[in-house]
Chain A
Amino acid sequence: GQQLNQSPQSMFIQEGEDVSMNCTSSSIFNTWLWYKQDPGEGPVLLIALYKAGELTSNGRLTAQFGITRKDSFLNISASIPSDVGIYFCAGRRSNFGNEKLTFGTGTRLTIIP
């Protein structure tokens, strides 16, 4: 099955730095979602995007739905230790909430002390 391509695969940053990651697809999605997964836990929803070009914020997190509907971006400002984890993008072809999600390959964020 298809998986979305995320980059970078991993990031090593210092606390307080800003973070940017992106997700690309060969096909169009009409909903983009960003999840964070901590070790031993399931993914937790961070941000949901429903319209091409949409820019949405959730605290220090900002995500954008690409105009082509084939990509999305997530930015984290002023990183803190609890931001450590794996970030996954996920796409849905329709706007129906129970349609399956296709997940990205993940970006692992590590904060260097």
Chain B
Amino acid sequence: EAGVAQSPRYKIIEKRQSVAFWCNPISGHATLYWYQQILGQGPKLLIQFQNNGVVDDSQLPKDRFSAERLKGVDSTLKIQPAKLEDSAVYLCASSFDRNNNYGYTFGSGTRLTVV
């Protein structure tokens, strides 16, 4: 099966600019996650979708970050305006359903550099 697709792979922007990332999960996977991975740290969950509904966005900085999954398939994550500390790899992951108790599948990520 095809993996989790993310684009772009790299993005460099100036602080206060806007940026958007795209994710296409594995076909049929109901749950989609966005994780932020700062250099030297483990991934940290930003937001979790179940189909097109938000399950957990408790760690999403909502003053500048937003995410949507309108049709329950693809998702976009937006940062507006970006800060220097947003420099990180943004990982998208997907899983089938709650009864599939395996670790989910990650995409290759988008590396964001804010200058």
Interface residues of A (CB under 8 A from B): 1, 3-4, 31, 33, 35, 40-45, 48, 50, 88, 90, 95-106
Contact = CB atoms under 8 A, between A and B. Distances in A.
The size class of the interface chain B forms with chain A is 20 to 34
Contacts of B104: 97-98, 101
B106 interface: yes
Given A3-B41, A42-B91, A42-B93, A100 B56 contact: yes
Contact of B42 (A31, A42, A97, A103): A103
B14 to A, nearest CB: 23
Given A1-B59, A41-B108, A41-B109, A48 B45 contact: no
- A interface SS class: loop
28 contacts: A3-B41, A3-B42, A31-B101, A40-B109, A43-B106, A45-B103, A48-B101, A88-B42, A88-B43, A96-B98, A96-B101, A97-B96, A97-B97, A97-B98, A97-B99, A97-B101, A97-B104, A98-B31, A98-B48, A98-B98, A98-B100, A98-B104, A101-B43, A101-B45, A103-B42, A104-B42, A105-B41, A106-B41
